[in-house]
Structure 1
Amino acid sequence: MINAGVTGFKCFLIHSGVDEFPHVTVTDLHAAMKQLQGTGSVLLFHAETEVQQPNGGDEDPCEYSTFLRSRPDIMELEAIDTITQLCLQYQVRCHIVHLSSAQPLKLIQAARQAGAPITVETTHHYLTLSAEHIPHGATQFKCCPPIRGLANQEQLWSALKEGQIDMVVSDHSPCTPDLKRLDSGDFSQAWGGISSLQFGLSLFWTLASKKGFSLPDMLTPYLGSQLQGEVYATIVRGKIVYKQGSFSSQPLGKHLLLCQPKTQASL
C-alpha cells in the first residue's frame, strides 16, 4: 500500500463505533511498527483505550455528565502513554488525532524531548464548546473523545499557543439526524461525531483573535510549502468578480437550482 502511494494509516485503540472497523491491540501495533520502520509513513491514532470503571448504575443517559464520566481523561492518558513508548522504540512517525484532554500533553512533550517523532492535533469543538454548557439530551454535542470542561479547554488553548499542539482540525464526522437520536436524547445510543468542516475558520478565529493570536498563527498543513500558480481573476458570465485581491462591488452570482429532467432524452 505504501508503494502504491498510501501516505499514512489510522487505527483505533478502542471500539471505533463501527463494527467493520475493529480496534487494534498492542500486539498489532508492534507488528505494524516493524512494517513501517524506515518507510517515512505515519501511523495515526484515535487515542482512547478501555479502562476499568465503576458501574454507572441508574445514571440518566440523557445527561451529558453521564456520558462524560464514561470517557474519562485516563482513557486518553493511558492510550498516549502506550503510543509514546512505541514511537520511541520504533522511531516511526506517530500522530494523535483529535486530542480532547490536556492531561496527556506532558507525556507527548517528554516523548518529543526524548526523540520521538510524534505530533498531535485538537479540534474546533474542543476549543469552543464546553461540558458545562451542554443541555440535557443535546446529543448533537456527542463526540469521542468527549467535549470536556472549561478548565481543560483553557489548557488546550495554552498548549496551542506554546506550540505543544501542532494543528487544529475539523474532525468532520456528520451523520443523518436519526443516528443522533435527537428524539430520545440518549447519549449512550447517539452517533459520536460533529459536523463542523464548514465552520472551521470562523470557529477558530472567533476565539483565537481574542486570545492574542494573529492571522499568521492560523495553522495550515501547507505552511512553508513552495507553490506554483495562484488565482489571478474569477469571471462569472463574462464579468470579472475578483481580480488580484479586489472583489466586485456587487454580487453577480445566481442560485443554481437542481431540476429533474423532464425526459431521459434531455440528459
Structure 2
Amino acid sequence: MHVRTWRLGATLLAMTMLVGCSGAAEHPTTEPTSPEKPQEQPSQAPSEATSTDADCPELRVGATIDGQVFADCVTEAIRATAGYAIRTTVLGIETTAAYNPSERAIATTTAAGSAIVIGDDVYVKPPLSPWQRADTESEDPLVVALSKGAMRGSLVDPAAAVKNITGTLHVTGTDSRLGEDVFVLTGTIQAQGAPVEVAYGITDDYAPLASTSVAEVNGQRAQTVTEVTEWDVHQDIVAPL
C-alpha cells in the first residue's frame, strides 16, 4: 500500500506541474517531443523574440523566451478552449484527464483511482471502491491521496500549473506534432521550487501540442510525457453522485 500511495503522489505532483501543457489535436499518432532529441534546424543568432501581436513574442529558431512570458501566452491559449483531453505517463503510470476550463471542471483517471472536480465539488474513487466525496481525513490512504491531489488549486485550474514558470526557454528547432507545425522549446524551469528539464512543441500561436519533462520526485528522476487526445472540444464531465 505504501508503494502504491507514493506512486500516486508522484503522479499527482507531476500532473500539477505540467498538466497545463498538453497537445492540441485529436488522435495523436506521434510521440511527444523529447528534451534530449529535438529536431535541430540551422542555427540562428539567439535573440529575445519580438512580438507578432500585442502580447506574445514571435517564435523563431534561435530565439529565447522568458519563462513567465511563455507561461502567460500558453495560459491564454488553454483558457480559450472549449475543453480538451490529454494522456500523461509518469513513472510508468498512465493518466487520462479531461478539462472544461470555463467550468473549472476536471476528470482524471489512473490505475490508482479517479477524481472529478466541478467548481468547488470534489469526488474521488479508489479502484475497488465506489465514488465518494473527497475526504482528506479518511482511513483509506488512497482516498486521502486522491482527495489532496484533486483539491490542489493547480488541478482545479489547469492553466494555473504554468502561470508561475521562471527561467528561460530556447527555440531549438521545428517539428511536426499532430499534423501541425510546431516550434521546439527546451530549457530548465522552476516548478513548485524544483528544477524541471522541459521540452515543448508549440504552434506559432502558443497552442501546446506536446510536452516532455524530467524532474526529481522523492529522490527519483521522473519523466512525464503528455499528449493530447482532444482539443477545443467540450468534455462530458458530470458529478458522479
Which TM bucket (shorter chain)? under 0.3
Point out the structure with the larger helix share: 1
Q: Which has the larger radius of gyration?
A: 1
Structure-2-length-normalised TM-score: 0.26
Structure-1-length-normalised TM-score: 0.25
Q: Which has the higher contact order (CA 8 A, sep 6+)?
A: 2
